[in-house]
Chains A and B, each alone.
Chain A
Amino acid sequence: MLPFAPFLIPLVAIALSLVLFGGFVGLAGADVQAVYQSIYRGAFGTWFSWQNTLTSAAPLMLTALCTALPARLGLIVIGGEGAVVVGGLAAALTGLVLVDANPWVALAGMALAAMLTGGLLIGLVGWLRHGRNVNETISSLLFNYISIAILSFLVIGPLRDPETLNKPSTHHIGDTHMLGALGDTSIHWGFGYGLIVCLLLWVLYKRTVFGFAVDMVGGNVRAALLSGLPVGRIVFLVCMMGGAAAGLAGMVEVAAVHGRANTSLNAGYGYEGILIAFAARHHPLAIIPMAILFGGIRASSGLMQRDHDLPDATSLVLQGIIFILILASEAVFARLAKRQGSAA
């Protein structure tokens, strides 16, 4: 197989998706070429749209890791949404507790609390899988619903700031404790977090003893056990790291965007992260461009709505087409690779 095939597959799938999407908007009565132009303009056309795109990409990079890290072990975890929600909630609560503290302390505390709760949530998924043989996909999906329900209960009930009328939320963490922007752009520090975490985890997987052990467990549990590896602990840790990344995304949403925890936390970043992880073939570095691409689609959805009178869900349709085509092309290429592989 060609050495760059892993990158080619998603690119071809995305190109094909754009063609299909053109057919869809055409049927919806819009001018296809103009829609393409709007997407480009809204996502990557100007510096302003780039800033929007990168801001949207920030949480996506982190939530994608929640699926991509356990995927190395052969687990399909889709609990990013839940981890964002509990992470964001924990960050907001910590921010309220540390409201009088030094901003650095407050931010560090919020990040830690978010990573810990998100990590424990997905770590629990890993433990259920290894220790109790509970399917990780089902359990992580159900944890999403539980997490969202807990968030709604708390922000409507005991933690509600009475001044938030339209959108029940917790109290604000205070403007001085908000996560700042990168330089004089409007891109917040969450994007930096995302880049750093992706890079760190790539190094962890590629270069460290821990990454080697993860490869062993993911490649063949029996061989890993034969070599005396603590398989259960590794499964728990990897899931926990994935959950921590998604939890951090929740903290970023609270500390850089809303200043409060509310139901905006479950805006689908977690689910979109699943898509990005698959599109990036679970490679921590490939997640970065994929997250930017999907961030761009998110950023341009407003423009599509405004200029072409297309419904809000249009960008979801595009995402859905891309997802299906990437999964399908994976299957096709896997079959090709197998055919070539068996010839070797």
Chain B
Amino acid sequence: MSTPHALALQAINVSKRFGALQALDQVSLKLRQGSIHALLGENGAGKSTLVKCIVGFYTPDDGEVLLGERQQAIGNPRDAHELGIGMVYQHFTLIPNMSVLENLVLARPHLPAVIDWKKERQAIAERMQSMPFQLPLDASVNHLAAGEKQKLEIVKQLLLGVKVLILDEPTSVLTPDEADEVLGRIREMTRAAGLSVLIITHKFREVMTYADDVTVLRRGKFAGSAEVAGVDIRQLAEMMVGSEFSQTALARAAVAEQPLKLGIDALSVADDSGMSAVHALSLQVKAGEIVGIAGVSGNGQRELVEALAGQRPPSGGTIRVMGETYSGRRRELLRHGFHCLPEEPLRNASVPRMSVAENLAFRHYDQRPFSLYGLLRRSRMAAAAVQAIADFKVRPPLPNAPIGDLSGGNVQRAILARELGEQPNVLVVANPCFGLDFTAVTEIHARIMAARNAGAAVLLVSEDLDEILELADRIHVMSGGRLVYETTPAAADPIVMGRHMAGHGETAHAD
């Protein structure tokens, strides 16, 4: 490695506390000039908090941040900006209905009162030549794909002349190909232009392929730091999860009796604009089986899950649970043990301003022991929540905190505790592991498998093909609102499935 050893940025013994939660405890990090440094850790390990301390979004309680070799007071993100530190957040900060050019110009901190668009356009077009990604300046950001938006965010920072670029999980919205392109180009920039990059991730592959150094955090503490060339994945995994690391083997038990539990007959569902998103879809799920629905997002999976969850009325067809017509009403839901884990649990399955304990009680708040004669018994809810929080390792373990204050992974755990805390009879799951680290993923997979083994009928809708291949007993490919191909994990051929997912399968399979 020919990287010079000068330090672009370092954090020394940074600590940050939020109420009862010690988010960062004496964490240090050294970013070398012209290198890519990966910050690795599970959800809630403190990666984002550390980075937010560096860019001045938070003020650390203790410790200091040095830029180069000098200590710099970074009081707010604007200071960080002046000092040449730029951050690309996990969620896009672009103005959707403006053009690429407008977004790039408006990102500058000091704008003249009147903008000479002709001049700006020329200047940016020229500088664009030296950028790692080329983007159409006149395209509206609305119409850019997620990958292009991510590139635009990065170009935006580079045009501002940042010397230190911080990326918060930049590849979570990208396909593997796009991720390789983005990270590869960034790596070239560090070599050619002396850019220093700090990248938050929990993907080992990206660390091993693109990073020079890695720092691992575990529960807010410094767990280790190394040159990537000198470590292997196993060592990193151990640093990341400590002694807890255990690969749960997914035992697939044979279930003797397999009555039909979930039946979908010719279900049609319209999307928000009233266009048909699911076309006369039929599907059966038996007890003790996981049926996986694979597909590229936007092929009607979301509308299908929403219809099953009672969040979107179907425009035709029927859903049957245990042979009875099912419409998602509370009585049916409880009688049939129908459980649903939708994607984006904070948006779909929780009330952010209500407490964790209340969110955990959504299924049974109107029954004993959580209420009696119509009056709530909150102490019972809290007691049950304490148990569920311990069982599902929700952090921080505070039943009375609003669930909206929890990190994404912990909201997912809490909702999991609600939906899988009791044995489901029918379980509908959508992208359960989106954005979660691998211990959480392993655990969620194990719990879904356990529910199946105990006789639940599971419908798993996922964009992650590996997840479907790992869990499912039968696989359907969904494309254009229809199930176009059926196979089993043993017989699955990724190339054939890919062709069907892309909508190029033989019509013979369409139903």
Contacts and interface: CB of A to CB of B under 8 A. Distances in A.
B329 A343 contact: no
A104 B19 CA distance: 57
Interface stretch (A14-22, A212-220, A285-293): A212-220
B379 interface: no
B237 interface: no
Interface of B: 18-19, 58, 309-311, 328-334, 340, 342, 347-354, 358, 362-363, 365-366, 371, 374-376, 405
A225 B310 contact: yes
Contacts, number: 77
B309 A343 contact: no
A343 B18 contact: yes
Interface stretch (A75-83, A193-201, A227-235): A227-235
A125 to B, nearest CB: 22
B328 A228 contact: yes
Contacts of B371: 209, 212
B58 A343 contact: yes
A229 B353 CA distance: 18
B357 to A, nearest CB: 12
A212 B330 contact: no
Given A208-B376, A209-B375, A212-B358, A226 B348 contact: yes
Main secondary structure of the interface of B (DSSP, over half): loop
A212, A216, A223 — most chain B CB neighbours (10 Å): A223
Given A207-B376, A216-B351, A222-B347, A227 B333 contact: yes
Given A209-B376, A344-B18, A229 B330 contact: yes
B348 A227 contact: no
A183 interface: no
Interface string A272-303: 00000000000000000000000000000000
Contact of B375 (A207, A225, A227, A229): A207
A209 B365 contact: yes
A211 B350 CA distance: 16
A227 B376 contact: no
B328 A225 contact: yes
Contact of A226 (B19, B334, B349, B366): B349
A344 B405 contact: yes
Nearest to A228: B330
A211 B375 CA distance: 9
A297 B328 CA distance: 51
A153 interface: no
Contacts of A208: 374-376
A210 B405 CA distance: 25
Given A222-B348, A227-B333, A228-B330, A209 B311 contact: no
Contacts of B405: 341, 344
Q: Chain A interface mostly helix, strand, loop or mixed?
A: helix
A208 B352 CA distance: 20
A343 B49 CA distance: 9
Contacts of A224: 351
B309 A226 contact: yes
Given A212-B358, A222-B347, A223-B350, A228 B331 contact: yes
A343 B76 CA distance: 13
B374 A209 contact: yes
B375 A230 contact: no
A226 B311 contact: yes
A230 B330 contact: yes
Contacts of A343: 18, 58
11 contacts: A208-B375, A209-B375, A209-B376, A212-B358, A212-B365, A213-B366, A216-B351, A219-B354, A220-B347, A226-B349, A344-B405
Contacts of B58: 343
B351 A223 contact: yes
A223 B375 contact: no
Contacts of A216: 351, 354, 362
A313 B82 CA distance: 54
Contact of B333 (A211, A222, A228): A228
A220 B351 contact: yes
A220 B345 CA distance: 11
Contacts of B331: 228
Contact of B374 (A210, A223, A227, A230): A210
A229 B366 CA distance: 11
Contact of A212 (B310, B334, B376): B376
A220 B310 contact: no
A224 B349 CA distance: 8
A222 B366 CA distance: 19
A223 B18 contact: no
A223 B349 contact: yes
Interface in A22-53: none
Contact of A209 (B354, B358, B366): B366
A209 B347 CA distance: 23
